[in-house]
Every structure is written in C-alpha cells, then in structure tokens.
Amino acid sequence: MSLLFPREIGLRRTLCENRDEFDNYILKVNGKASCYTSLYSFERRDEIRTWKMDIESVVMDRAWWDFDMIEGGTLEDVKKDVIELLNRINIYDRVALGREIRIVFTGRGFHVHQFFDTPVKGTAIARHIDRYQRLQARGLKTLDGVGFPQKLTRIPDTYNPKRGKWAVNIDPMSFYLNPNYEIPAQPLQELKIYDPYTGHNVIDGFNIRAWIANNPVQETASVGEFNGEIGSAGQIPIPPCLEKAIHQDNPKHDVRIALTLHLADNLRWFAHPSTLTPEQRQQSIDTIVAFMSNLGWRDYNEHTTRFHVESIIDYEHTPTKCVVDAGPCWAHDGVKR
C-alpha cells in the first residue's frame, strides 16, 4: 500500500493525518462532489502556516501523467497516447516483474502512476522528475499534466457527479496487451489490488536517481530570432524561483504576471511581439491559459485568466528584475543565487 501520511485531501487541501480521516472524507464526500488527494505525502507541517504542509518535506514516490480527451478528439486518441507512454517506459519488462505501473480511468482519460524503487524527498529534485515525465510524454497530444509536489489527483473508485463518471482502477497489463480491453463502468473489487494508493505494495520500481544521474540537465543556447512556429509550453524550462512560486494553491498576482511573460517570451522564441500574426498571438494565449489551468490554483477562472493574459502578452520583454525575486535574476547576469 502506498497511502502515506500526512497528506492533503479535498480541493481546500485539508490536512489528513491517518487512514481513518482519509476513509471518513471519502464516505462523507463521495457522490456529492469529486474526491481529491494530494499526489504525494509530506513529512511535516509548515512551521509558520501550520494548517498547511511544508512543501520542502514532500515525499515523491512516483512519476505521474494525466491524459485527457482534447476538443474534437476521442477516447481512442487518449488510449493510443497512454500505450505509447507505456512503451517508452518499458512497461512489459518491469510491470510483469514488479507491478510498478498503476492506471486509473477518470471518465475522459487516464492517470498513469509509475512508482520509484525508493522515494525521493524535497522540491530540489522535483524539477528533475518533471524533466523525466515531460521527456517520456514528449509529443503526446492528449497529455494534460504531469506530477509536481503540490498536485492534487482524483481518488480512485470515487464518483464525479458533475460528469456522472467513476474514476476506476484498471488492470495495467490487460489494458496494455489487449486493444479491446473493456474498461469497467464502476469500481470492481478484483481490481482494488491495482489501486495506486491502497492496492498491493509495489515489489519493484523505477530507479529515478539513476535516471537523473545519467541524464543531467543540458545547457542550451537561446534561439535569437522567431522561426515562425509557436512553441509548446510543456517544454519550456521554468526558473527555480518562479517554479516554486507558481506551485502554490493561490499565487500572488505578480507571480502570475511573471509566469505569463516568461511563457510568452519562450513561446515566440524571444522575437518581438509585433512579429506575430494574429493567429500566432492567439495560439500563444491559448497555450498559456491551458498551462495555467493545470497548476491547481484554488481561484483559477479561465475567463479571468484569459483576459489578463491578453492584456499583457504584447509586452516587449520580461523585466531584468523579476517581480518574483527580491534581487537581480541569475538568468540575466549568470550568477545563481
């Protein structure tokens, strides 16, 4: 079983200290609203904001991918992308031995959990896990998000009353090997062993530490001029200071401005905003809004977010003194602080 405590439950991120509190939350909420838990557990509470968990104490025991149907797409498109991800992470070799993969069908897509052989702790390693997740899912169009320290995820075998769908555990090997695998419409007792939190213990797991050691961060030079195609927000590196700031449940307005400017700069390859066509400008806006929609912000509203992104996307450049930091940024003067 991989249900470790303390963790957070619900969209309000209520602290959950033990299994009884976790089960009582599901009994109380299931059927009335969607049930959520933090993807990861934590070691301690925040020393100042004691009603919150200390993000630096996060215990990251898995990689995680969220695939969902896109506008105009089908569930078959999502299945194909999930199968391709499983091919890339060599599911057949390792799952047959250790069952390190767990898959949850959410009604419109899939959550894929890949367990590590040993959990890793702290936010410093989170960006490397992010690199791994995005590398494995590169080019998969139905990817809707990846795991990060404050990510919330649906609790398996619970009901989403808004969509009228259950989030159900499925047999990963049967799903992988059988193109006609029938996804259950509701939870099945025999599939509880595959639950990513309360199922059987993982016997083996992926060695994320070895992967990080064998795949160091590559320094790349910035492209000097716009090449005519808008990039992908999922492939843009986020500076550590900004990454930490955006992974809060309710970031300040200036943090959101900094993220918008950073993404806009990178999406157009640092070309002047005036060089974009109206279609490219709109594509940039849509990409930024979609990126923000997956960050789990408590007050996220697509209409409001789109309004503010449109109002600042034409800024010529990001200030050399970032609104997130108190001092000059290492990205501009080369000195990391």
Do 242 and 115 share a structural domain?
no
Do 304 and 205 share a structural domain?
no
Checking if the pLDDT of 92 tops 90, the result is no
Tokens of 23: 């089960």
Residue 216: inside a domain? no
Under DSSP, is residue 260 helix (H, G, I), strand (E, B) or coil? helix
Name the domain boundary from 163, 194, 209. Answer: 209
**pLDDT band with cut points at 50, 70 and 90 for residue 2:** confident
- In this predicted structure, what is the pLDDT of residue 326? 46
Q: Look up the CATH number of the domain holding residue 164.
A: 3.90.920
Range of the domain at 327: 233-333
**pLDDT band with cut points at 50, 70 and 90 for residue 235:** low
Residue 132: inside a domain? yes
Checking if the pLDDT of 47 tops 50, the result is yes
DSSP string, 229-242: S---GGGPPPPHHH
Residue 36: inside a domain? yes
* Mean pLDDT score across all residues of the chain: 85
Residue 83: inside a domain? yes
**pLDDT band with cut points at 50, 70 and 90 for residue 1:** low
Helices 253-267 and 278-293 pack at an angle, to 10 degrees, of 130
Kindly state the DSSP code that residue 206 receives in the 8-state scheme. Answer: B
Number of Cβ within a 10 Å radius of residue 326 = 8
Do 270 and 145 share a structural domain?
no
Checking if the pLDDT of 96 tops 80, the result is no
Checking if the pLDDT of 272 tops 60, the result is yes
Name the residue with higher pLDDT: 239 or 28.
28
Does this model's pTM top 0.85? no
Do 61 and 192 share a structural domain?
yes
**pLDDT band with cut points at 50, 70 and 90 for residue 161:** very high
Do 316 and 250 share a structural domain?
yes
Per-residue pLDDT, averaged over 263-278, amounts to 83
CB burial readout 5-24, b (16+ within 10 A) else e: ebbbbbeebebbeeeeebee
Residue 225: inside a domain? no
Per-residue pLDDT, averaged over 71-85, amounts to 94
- In this predicted structure, what is the pLDDT of residue 100? 86
Task: Quick: pLDDT tens for 176-229.
Answer: 999 899 999 999 999 999 999 999 988 788 999 999 999 988 754 444 444 455
Do 186 and 64 share a structural domain?
yes
Tokens of 320: 């050399």
- In this predicted structure, what is the pLDDT of residue 244? 82
**pLDDT band with cut points at 50, 70 and 90 for residue 300:** confident
Residue 221: inside a domain? no
Checking if the pLDDT of 335 tops 80, the result is no
**pLDDT band with cut points at 50, 70 and 90 for residue 72:** confident
Do 182 and 134 share a structural domain?
yes
* Lowest-confidence region among 94-108, 249-263, 286-300: 94-108
Which of 36-40, 204-208, 249-253 reaches the highest mean pLDDT? Answer: 36-40
Q: Are 60 and 149 in contact (CB under 8 A)?
A: yes
Q: To the nearest whole percent, how much of the chain has pLDDT over 70?
A: 85
Q: Are 95 and 178 in contact (CB under 8 A)?
A: no
Residue 287: inside a domain? yes
Checking if the pLDDT of 97 tops 70, the result is no
Do 203 and 281 share a structural domain?
no
* Lowest-confidence region among 125-129, 293-297, 317-321: 317-321
Residue 248: inside a domain? yes
- Total tally of structural domains belonging to the chain: 2
Name the residue with higher pLDDT: 91 or 228.
91
Do 249 and 175 share a structural domain?
no
Q: To the nearest whole percent, how much of the chain has pLDDT over 90?
A: 52
Do 164 and 254 share a structural domain?
no
Per-residue pLDDT, averaged over 130-158, amounts to 94
**pLDDT band with cut points at 50, 70 and 90 for residue 337:** very low
- In this predicted structure, what is the pLDDT of residue 136? 95
Do 262 and 204 share a structural domain?
no
Do 192 and 282 share a structural domain?
no
Name the domain boundary from 175, 209, 243. Answer: 209
